[in-house]
Amino acid sequence: MYKLVIRSVSLKRETFLFLILLMLISTVMASAAKDPVAAWLFNKKGNMVKDISGNGHDGKIHGKVEWIKDGRFDSALAFEGKDGWIEVKNHKDFHFPKGTDFTLACWIKITADHGQPPMLVAKSYGPQGQKQPWYALYYANQGKQSDGDVSFFCRDAGGQSFHIAAGQKINDEKWHHVVGTRAKGTMYLYLDGVVKSEKKGANFDVGTHDGDLHMMTHASRFMNAVLDEVVIYKDKALSTEEINQLMNNGTEAFLSVSSKEKIATTWGGIKSAYQDEL
């Protein structure tokens, strides 16, 4: 009888260990699916910008761009509005077909005026010209003019524009956090952690052309600004709470806390399951 009891306990422990393995594997896979597809912190000097996501989307610096130490978080890149921009090669990670949620986020500090509006982070409307459908965080107002406002722009394959502006100027030489998301077909524009505008009916392919991803340029226009911490998510529209955590803590801290929370949740589930089993 004692042997049967010992054997029963042993089986329960084996079941418990198996549960740990399965749940940890599930957590890692789920985490990978919801991690950013690309993130550039601009903390290492060179003619390339390192993608810390692990997906290899390093970007090439073109023109005159200066690495500075006093970014929003550590170092950043300063652009003079002449010929400086960043090129990241086209990849399916930057393609957002119909039904795909996504997030574009960056820190920006405007340092001079712009006659024509460039783009902060965009796909398929850089120096190579327009390739529809495309998306952009755009340094322009609702009328697509450069007056210090910022906006989120998506254009479908047929040329129809979906454009929402913050209605707030950011040309004050201060850091501002700009985020555009699409969640279940609705576009949202956040400025400094607050939703400024939204637009429904934007459930269509964007960025699915073979055009490259680009930062701080639009056709032949270039930004006078400092750029820091660009992050892109596919299959995930960050919530208001998550955007504020990203804004307040920085990308590295945000990603670290997010991973720890997932593991803690999983461990809590394992303990609960084990206690119920015993």
- List the chain domain ranges: 36-260
**Unique residue bearing structure tokens 């707030």:** 168
Q: What is the pTM of this model?
A: 0.83
**Local confidence band at 128 (pLDDT 50, 70, 90 cut-offs):** confident
Contact 123, 212 (CB under 8 A): yes
First to last CA, the chain: 18
Go through the chain and tell me how many residues it has: 278
Percent of the chain with pLDDT over 70: 80
Q: For residue 201, report the phi and psi dihedrals to the nearest 5 degrees.
A: 80, 20
pLDDT score recorded for residue 34: 73
Please give the pLDDT value at position 29.
37
On average, the pLDDT of the chain sits at 86
The four Cα atoms 172, 177, 183, 186 give a dihedral, to 10 degrees, of 0
Residue 150: is its pLDDT beyond 60?
yes
Model confidence pLDDT, tens digit, residues 162-181: 999 999 999 999 999 999 99
DSSP per-residue codes, 112-172? S--SS--EEEEEEEETTEEEEEEEEEESS-TTS--SS--EEEEE-TT--EEEEE-SS---S
Q: Give the right CATH number for 36-260 from 3.20.20.370, 3.40.605.10, 2.40.170.20, 2.60.120.200.
A: 2.60.120.200
